[in-house]
Amino acid sequence: METLAEAGLPVRVVNPRQVRDFTKALGKLAKTDRIDAAILAHFAEATQPEPCPLPDEETRELRDLLTRRKQLQDMLTAEKNRLRRAPFSLRPDIEEHIRWLEEKLKELERKIEGKTAAFGERMQILMSVPGVGLLTSAVLLGYLPELGKLSGKEIAALAGVAPFNRDSGEQKGKRAVWGGRKEVRAALYMATVAAVRWNPILRGFYQRLLGAGKPVKMALVAGMRKLLVILNAMAKRGTTWSPNLRNSLTTNTVAHPDPLPKGEGDGTLTSRYYFAMLF
């Protein structure tokens, strides 16, 4: 993608699932490179996808560091699981590797903290929100560079926390969230768990949902969406957190102020159905 952009060619990034579904709709069963190229050309002509702005060098470097951090975390988890089942003769070696991984993880997190300094005001805006720490802010900057450039509904759908309808005739299905960027969802989940305790707006929103009988998971996912939409509005306006944020931002920009916002067919949460979080 970077090579194409450097050559001055517009780049479109599309979801492979959409192309596969498009191919099935055309009744194409065979698969060759020539057929794939023709299908992609037909898909682009029919859907006219928007050019994809590529992240700048600082964002790409931050994303690479975050990806490496996730790899180290996965290796550390795997070694700790092995340690519980390993014979005594192998445990010293595994414990030594765990200590090495933990040290490398700390070293990498220091690099991430240093890299986020390049984002200046944007980083300060995100970290000003109670419940949002350095790593959550870094993930949002690295994996969601569109933050502050889209509407609340668009950014929620892009991250994968916008509930979508599943209705047919008189049948009303449960709203569900799916797709999106898993790295962003994971970071938002952990931030929301902290925010429902320490952030006054998110805490009140979460408690009202629980008081209305909504499941804990549904309330947390709704909190993830509300937190993301608030962050998006703050990034768009360049404003930091304040206790009067609810009054300083319009309800259309931040979120509906009601504990159970209404909406049919537009991807917003309704009071009649809860949605499941799909990872």
Express each pLDDT in 19-76 by its tens digit.
Answer: 999 999 999 888 899 999 999 999 999 998 887 777 888 999 999 999 999 999 999 9
For residue 115, the model assigns a pLDDT of: 93
Tokens of 1: 């993608």
Residue 255 · residue 230 · CB < 8 Å: yes
For residue 250, the model assigns a pLDDT of: 43
For residue 175, the model assigns a pLDDT of: 77
Residue with tokens 């668009």: 154
What lies within 8 Å, CB to CB, of 110 at 6+ separation is none
Question: What is the C-alpha separation between 190 and 17, in angstroms, rounded?
Answer: 28
For residue 73, the model assigns a pLDDT of: 96
Which helix (H) or strand (E) segment holds residue 176: the answer is strand 176-177
Rounded to the nearest angstrom, the gap between the alpha carbon of residue 121 and the centroid of all alpha carbons in its chain is: 21
Number of H helices, E strands in the chain: 13, 4
Tokens of 245: 């944020």
Region label for 167, one of left (φ > 0), alpha (ψ between -120 and 50) or beta (otherwise): beta
- Smallest Cα–Cα separation from 49: which of 20, 8, 14, 21? 14
Low-confidence ranges of the chain (pLDDT < 70): 5, 243, 245-279
Q: What is the pTM of this model?
A: 0.78
Domain ranges across the chain: 2-7+14-47, 57-120, 138-277
What lies within 8 Å, CB to CB, of 39 at 6+ separation is 19, 22, 23, 26, 28
Residue 61 · residue 108 · CB < 8 Å: no
For residue 163, the model assigns a pLDDT of: 84
